[in-house]
A = this chain, B = another copy of it.
């Protein structure tokens, strides 16, 4: 999916919502455990009740790898289900990969050719040749970690490196590697002021913004500081949506939570003259 197509989806659905599929078998309704693939079954029902409100889904690979090969199969089924039933959805594998060149090339094949997602989160620490193999795929995206939503983001990402902070230097370097047609950045909702600074630094790039909801980030503050003339935001919510209820109504309640966020997003898009 290219940038223009993503923007069209945002306008059509009046939403810049990304739903995180961090599916934890200990948190899903017990009756699903009797099915052959409870993780996929949960995801399928969540998708059925939320897809009209979201432009993107973001399965986090940790929640699948924890079940080994079987978990990887649940991930494959989930992506396939999205592809078959919602071809216009932007699918992000939140995997935070990154390694030396010939290894990153294999990760790229794993996610873009085998799993067939649209985008992959990538860690920047190993530099250009660890990121560039992911940029050789038409219509596929790198979403590079810049300023993450967790407390530990303070340990290294705020270090002064000359005139900039480390995360600003990562952003600056990375814009030399890829344009806003191929790269996005992770900027946590828990840093609304810095999000404003980063938007000034990079007016054209999309940001994937995690941390709204369970982690304490606020949608209005994110929109105020991060929105650009094309929207430029994918705001992720995981636990706040998929675990809205742990009863048999879990998918319906997830749909209601997604709808609430989508309504707020529609208002924000209107206020900003984007729809």
A186 CB → nearest B CB, Å: 10
Contacts known (A125-B145, A156-B169); A66 close to B109, Cβ less than 8 A: yes
A117 CB → nearest B CB, Å: 12
User: Out of B103, B126, B152, B166, which one reaches A159, CB within 8 Å?
Assistant: B166
Interface size on A, residues (CB 8 A): 60
Is A247 in the interface zone, CB < 8 Å from B? Answer: no
Interchain CB contact under 8 A, B114 and A66: yes
Interchain CB contact under 8 A, A157 and B66: no
Given A127-B150, A166-B166, 20 extra CB contacts under 8 A: A62-B99, A63-B106, A65-B106, A66-B107, A67-B110, A68-B72, A69-B70, A96-B123, A123-B125, A124-B125, A125-B145, A125-B157, A127-B153, A127-B154, A127-B155, A128-B152, A155-B173, A159-B166, A160-B161, A161-B166
Of all chain B residues, the one with the shortest Cβ separation from A115 is: B68
Is A149 in the interface zone, CB < 8 Å from B? Answer: yes
Of all chain B residues, the one with the shortest Cβ separation from A151 is: B129
Chain copies in the assembly? 2
State the CA gap A214–B180 with chains docked (Å).
35
Is A162 in the interface zone, CB < 8 Å from B? Answer: yes
Contacts of A96 in B (CB 8 A): 97-99, 123
State the CA gap A63–B99 with chains docked (Å).
12
Interchain CB contact under 8 A, B100 and A129: no
Contacts of A73 in B (CB 8 A): 68-69
Interface residues of A in 59-106 (CB under 8 A from B): 60, 62-63, 65-73, 76, 94, 96-101, 103-104, 106
Of all chain B residues, the one with the shortest Cβ separation from A24 is: B106
A47 CB → nearest B CB, Å: 20
Contacts of A128 in B (CB 8 A): 151-152, 155
Interchain CB contact under 8 A, B157 and A160: no
